Chain A
Amino acid sequence: MEVSAGTADGRAVVRLGTRARAWRVALLVVLAGLFLAGTAVGDDPWWPFGPWRMFATSTAPSGAVYSLSIEMRETGSADWRPAPITPSSVGLNRAEIEGRVPQLTADPRLLGTLARAHARLHPKDRAWTGVRVVQSRILLDGQRPTGEVVRTVLATWVAP
Chain B
Amino acid sequence: MSEQGGAAAAGPRDEGRRRPEAPPEAREPLAPSEQGGAAAAGPRDEGRRRHPAPPEAREQSSTVSALLNWLMPDVPLARVALLRRAVYAFVIIDVLLLHTSGYYHGWADPAWYRPLLLGQLLHLPAASVPLVELLRWGCLAAAAVALAGRLPRLAGAAVAVTWIWYQYVAFAYGKVDHDRADFVVALLVLPTVAAAATAVDRRRSEAAGFAVRAIQLTAIATYFLSAWAKVRFGGIGWVNSATMVRAVVRRGTWLGDQLLQVPWTLHAFQWVLITAELLSPLIFVVGERWRRRMVFAWYLFHASVYATITIAFWPHLVMMLAFLPLEEYRDRFVSWFRRPRRGSPEPTEPPEVPATERTGVPVRG
Binding site for B on A (CB under 8 A): 1-21, 24-25, 27-28, 31-32, 35-36, 39-40, 44-61, 63, 65, 67, 87-88, 90-93, 95-97, 99-100, 110, 113, 116-117, 120-121, 138, 140, 142-145
Q: How far is the CA of A58 from the CA of B247 in the complex (A)?
A: 11
Within 8 Å by CB of A9, from B29, B175, B225, lies B29
What B residues does A21 contact at CB under 8 A? 68, 72, 206
Within 8 Å by CB of B232, from A18, A32, A51, lies A51
Q: How far is the CA of A97 from the CA of B109 in the complex (A)?
A: 12
What B residues does A93 contact at CB under 8 A? 101, 175
Do B204 and A55 touch across chains, with their CB atoms under 8 A apart?
Answer: no
CB distance from B355 to the nearest CB of A (A): 10
Do B207 and A16 touch across chains, with their CB atoms under 8 A apart?
Answer: yes
B5 at the interface (CB under 8 A from A): yes
Chain B, residues 257-290, CB within 8 Å of chain A (1/0): the string is: 0001101001100000000000000000000000
Tell which of B55-63, B210-218, B293-301, B319-327 binds the partner. Answer: B210-218
Q: How far is the CA of A152 from the CA of B211 in the complex (A)?
A: 52
15 contacts between A and B (CB under 8 A): A2-B205, A10-B6, A13-B30, A14-B77, A14-B203, A14-B204, A16-B72, A27-B189, A35-B225, A39-B232, A50-B176, A57-B234, A87-B104, A93-B175, A99-B174
Q: How far is the CA of A49 from the CA of B107 in the complex (A)?
A: 27
Do A59 and B243 touch across chains, with their CB atoms under 8 A apart?
Answer: yes
Given contacts A88-B104, A100-B112, contact A14 B174 (CB under 8 A): no
CB distance from A141 to the nearest CB of B (A): 11
Residue among A13, A46, A63, A92 having the largest count of chain B Cβ atoms under 10 Å: A13
What B residues does A32 contact at CB under 8 A? 217, 221
Q: Which residue of A lies closest to B179 (CB)?
A: A54
Do B234 and A13 touch across chains, with their CB atoms under 8 A apart?
Answer: no
Do B108 and A91 touch across chains, with their CB atoms under 8 A apart?
Answer: yes
Q: How far is the CA of A61 from the CA of B27 in the complex (A)?
A: 61
CB distance from B271 to the nearest CB of A (A): 14
Do A55 and B243 touch across chains, with their CB atoms under 8 A apart?
Answer: yes
CB distance from A37 to the nearest CB of B (A): 11
Do B7 and A12 touch across chains, with their CB atoms under 8 A apart?
Answer: yes
Tell me the interface secondary structure of chain A in the complex. mixed
Q: Which residue of A lies closest to B69 (CB)?
A: A21
Residue among A32, A35, A143 having the largest count of chain B Cβ atoms under 10 Å: A143
B17 at the interface (CB under 8 A from A): yes
Q: How far is the CA of A123 from the CA of B179 in the complex (A)?
A: 34
Name 5 extra pairs, CB < 8 A, besides A1-B19, A47-B117, A121-B107: A9-B361, A10-B359, A13-B27, A32-B221, A39-B229
Q: Which residue of A lies closest to B209 (CB)?
A: A16
What A residues does B240 contact at CB under 8 A? 61
Do A50 and B174 touch across chains, with their CB atoms under 8 A apart?
Answer: no
Do A28 and B180 touch across chains, with their CB atoms under 8 A apart?
Answer: no
Do A52 and B207 touch across chains, with their CB atoms under 8 A apart?
Answer: no
Within 8 Å by CB of B204, from A11, A25, A58, A88, lies A11
Given contacts A9-B360, A14-B195, contact A87 B101 (CB under 8 A): yes
CB distance from A94 to the nearest CB of B (A): 9
B11 at the interface (CB under 8 A from A): yes
Q: 4 tightest CB-CB pairs across the interface, nearest first? A: A6-B7, A91-B108, A87-B104, A113-B109
Given contacts A11-B29, A14-B206, A57-B234, contact A46 B243 (CB under 8 A): no
CB distance from B78 to the nearest CB of A (A): 12
Within 8 Å by CB of B5, from A1, A11, A31, A44, lies A11
Do B28 and A7 touch across chains, with their CB atoms under 8 A apart?
Answer: yes
Q: How far is the CA of A67 from the CA of B175 in the complex (A)?
A: 16
Given contacts A13-B29, A39-B232, A50-B181, contact A18 B22 (CB under 8 A): yes
Do A48 and B30 touch across chains, with their CB atoms under 8 A apart?
Answer: no
What A residues does B359 contact at CB under 8 A? 10-11
CB distance from B360 to the nearest CB of A (A): 5
What B residues does A110 contact at CB under 8 A? 111-112
Do B242 and A4 touch across chains, with their CB atoms under 8 A apart?
Answer: no
CB distance from B26 to the nearest CB of A (A): 8
Chain B, residues 13-31, CB within 8 Å of chain A (1/0): the string is: 1100111011011011111
